[in-house]
Copies of this chain bind each other. A is one copy, B any other.
Amino acid sequence: MTLTPLTGVIPPVCTPLTPDREVDVPSLLRLVDHLVAGGVSGLFVLGSTSEAAYLPDRQRRLVVESVAAHVSGQLPVLAGAIDMTTARVLDHVASVTAAGADAVVVTAPFYARTHPAEIARHYRAVAAGSPIPVIAYDLPVAVHTKLPADVVLELAADGVLAGLKDSSGDLAAFRQVLTGARDRQGITGFSVLTGSELIVDAALALGADGTVPGLGNVDPHGYVRLDGLCRAGDRDEARAEQERLCALFGMVTVGDPARMGPASSAIGAFKAALHLRGVIDCPATAEPQVPLSPDEVERVGKYLAAAGLL
């Protein structure tokens, strides 16, 4: 099976939790409906914004099963298989495939210090054992290795990788993959997606196929509108919409850096916003993330109000 090149907005879907940190499936499905109503063209579950790194295996599986069953083929479901090394990733690949995912998203090995040759070897082994297409996930802030553009392109040309989700923030390196994927012999149907939600207009102008914005949970309509404006060539309107979304993104800084790390703050803000917007029942984040204080949640509300979302 291959993927038709993915385009449009494919948000990394937050994982709503109950107060006792179980997956809140009804909220999850409401969130999916909210995203589909917003016009997204695919769903990415078990990404970083989904707190995949925090979810035990049974919760991960429940998420994929619930979402895949709910959308039942109407739009593609990508699932992360976030783990340290090849054999562990392959177990997740089997699990998400069985649960109904259409493609799997895989980072470079982490924890152990790694090498470009080991990264390539990893993707080759994962793809050889995966029944569904494999998309590379470039997330140096988590994995502590940047996927080298030449490694990505070689794996694309060899049919190992079906796409790239780039959250490196390095637009120059992203461009190198984009032009390589376009120009290089033997690469077809390769999806180049950006996770850089603050420069979507720039990434699309460079030729990106689609967008994977964490903030798209909160405002899917905004990102879909932005995508449309970019495709229509309406650059000024696109820039204005992107800047509105950049202002909204400021919510990720509400958490006090003396009390919590940036992940607690950002995921906490997205979930608080979804709760304030009435999409999910509870804004709880997974352990050991520190919850936002009531004051911090109030500041999230102000960001929503300023963006016309409350």
Contact = CB atoms under 8 A, between A and B. Distances in A.
A103 to B, nearest CB: 21
B201 A246 contact: no
A113 B290 contact: no
Contact of A286 (B56, B87, B198, B257): B87
Interface string A164-197: 0000011110011001000000000000000010
A151 to B, nearest CB: 12
Contact of A21 (B53, B87, B122, B172): B87
Interface stretch (A78-86, A217-225, A294-302): A78-86
Contact of A172 (B54, B169, B206, B235): B169
A87 B261 contact: no
A129 to B, nearest CB: 10
Contact of A118 (B114, B141, B176, B260): B260
28 contacts: A53-B112, A54-B86, A82-B84, A86-B287, A86-B288, A87-B286, A87-B287, A110-B111, A111-B143, A114-B261, A115-B264, A117-B260, A117-B261, A117-B290, A118-B290, A119-B288, A121-B287, A125-B288, A171-B199, A172-B199, A176-B246, A179-B243, A199-B202, A202-B202, A202-B206, A205-B205, A205-B239, A206-B239
B288 A121 contact: yes
Interface in A235-273: 235, 239, 243, 246, 257-264
A199 B171 CA distance: 7
A229 interface: no
Contact of A261 (B84, B118, B175, B235): B118
Contacts of A246: 172, 175-176, 179
A175 B239 CA distance: 11
Contacts of A196: 171-172
A65 interface: no
A258 to B, nearest CB: 7
A57 interface: yes
Interface of A: 21, 48, 53-57, 59, 82, 84-88, 90-91, 109-115, 117-119, 121-122, 125, 141-144, 169-172, 175-176, 179, 196, 198-199, 201-202, 205-207, 235, 239, 243, 246, 257-264, 286-290
Contacts of A91: 56-57
Contacts of A260: 115, 117-118
Given A56-B90, A201-B206, 19 more contacts: A53-B88, A54-B87, A54-B88, A54-B112, A56-B87, A56-B88, A56-B91, A59-B87, A109-B288, A112-B263, A115-B259, A115-B260, A118-B261, A118-B289, A172-B199, A179-B246, A202-B206, A205-B235, A206-B239
A259 B121 CA distance: 11
Contact of A201 (B112, B205, B263, B288): B205
A88 B119 CA distance: 24
